Amino acid sequence: MVDTASREIREYGFTQLPGLASGDALARLRRAVGRIEELAADRTASGGEFVLEAPGVGGWAAWQQGTGALKGVLRSADRIHEHVPEFGDVERSLGLAGGPVARGVGAPGELVNSFLWAKPPVVGSAKPWHQDIAFAPPAFDAEEHGIVTVWIALEPATTRNGCLEFIPGSHVLGLFPHSGDRERQAGEARLAKAVEPHIADAHLPRTAEPVAVPLDPGSAVMFDGLVVHRSAPNTTASEPRTAVSFVYKVPRTPWSRLEPAAVAA
């Protein structure tokens, strides 16, 4: 029997997991985020898996341009389970790989990365429309494997402070062209005017209207690496949007399609 989460991720590319991390698990994740924030407190520039927020242009663009950032104000951090092992401990205690991920795609996942997604009030920058699989490293072998992400809200994620938005069903349409600059590597020259990789409006699928997914603290959304999604900026005065995500490598699912998507010329 196919449960609701499995049916929804197959049909829409995403599904909600209400109350996934409650009580002690939620408290532990919040404490672990505090440790990540302590690691970044004295940073004045992005780098080394930490991206600081920057007013106006946003954290990613400021990082690539080498321009000013807000001291210690995180926009994101990756490999957080390596920086603070408590994240990995909680992930395993929740049984995500063999529980929700396995039920969703029919096979257990292998944890390959974890992220902090901080979107502070006033300056929290947007994340443009994209597909996660477009950023998989060359060694990932996307022909054989897919990606599933479990994104857990640690504070209320709302349409006001930049909750995730998805285009339902876009995960079965293929890989859309992404415009913008690739992330520069260590030692490479700074970019004069960086454009974060994104799917241009002209190339977005028109098969369904975008759906916003607000979440209560401890609730999660699980989604396929090919589903098109974004988050708006946080323009509130006092409503931070903090989340963590765990990314899993899974066998290529029969419903996803890696070939280039058909787009208007």
Distance CA 254, CA 108 (A): 15
Residue 185, Cβ density class (10 Å: 0-12 exposed, 13-18 middle, ≥19 buried): exposed
Whether 162 shows a pLDDT value over 80: the answer reads: yes
DSSP 223-253: EETTS-EEE--B--SS--EEEEEEEEEEEPP
CATH of 4-251, one of 3.40.50.620, 2.60.120.620, 3.40.1160.10, 3.60.21.10: 2.60.120.620
**146 DSSP β-pair partners:** 250
- Give the pLDDT confidence of 235-254 residue by residue, as tens digits: 999 999 999 999 999 999 88
Supply the pTM of this predicted model.
Answer: 0.96
Mean pLDDT over each residue of the chain, to the nearest integer: 94
pLDDT higher than 80, residue 99: yes
The phi-psi region of residue 220 (left if phi > 0; otherwise alpha if psi is between -120 and 50; otherwise beta) is beta
Is residue 110 within 8 A of residue 226, CB to CB? The reply is: no
In angstroms, rounded to a whole number, what is the distance separating the alpha carbons of residues 99 and 1? 15
Q: State the pLDDT at residue 264.
A: 61
258 φ/ψ sector (left φ>0, alpha ψ -120 to 50, else beta)? alpha
* 8 close to 35: Cβ distance less than 8 angstroms: no
Cα angle 76-62-115, degrees, rounded to a multiple of 5:
10
Please give the DSSP secondary-structure letter assigned to residue 157.
B
Residue 15 has pLDDT above 90, yes or no: yes
pLDDT reading at 55 higher than 70 = yes
pLDDT of 2 reads 58
User: pLDDT tens across 215-242, in order?
Assistant: 999 999 999 999 999 999 999 999 999 9
Cα–Cα distance for residue pair 246/215, rounded to 1 Å: 16
Among 166, 161, 113, CA closest to 137: 113
Alpha-helix runs per DSSP H in the chain: 4-11, 23-40, 59-65, 80-83, 86-94, 100-105
Euclidean distance between the first and final Cα of the chain, in Å? 42
- The SS3 of residue 40 is helix
The pLDDT of residue 114 is above 50: yes
The answer, yes or no, to whether residue 263 has pLDDT greater than 80, is: no
CB 241 within 8 A of CB 161: yes
Report the share of the chain in percent with pLDDT over 90.
81
pLDDT at 1 over 50: no
What mean pLDDT is predicted for residues 36-46?
A: 96
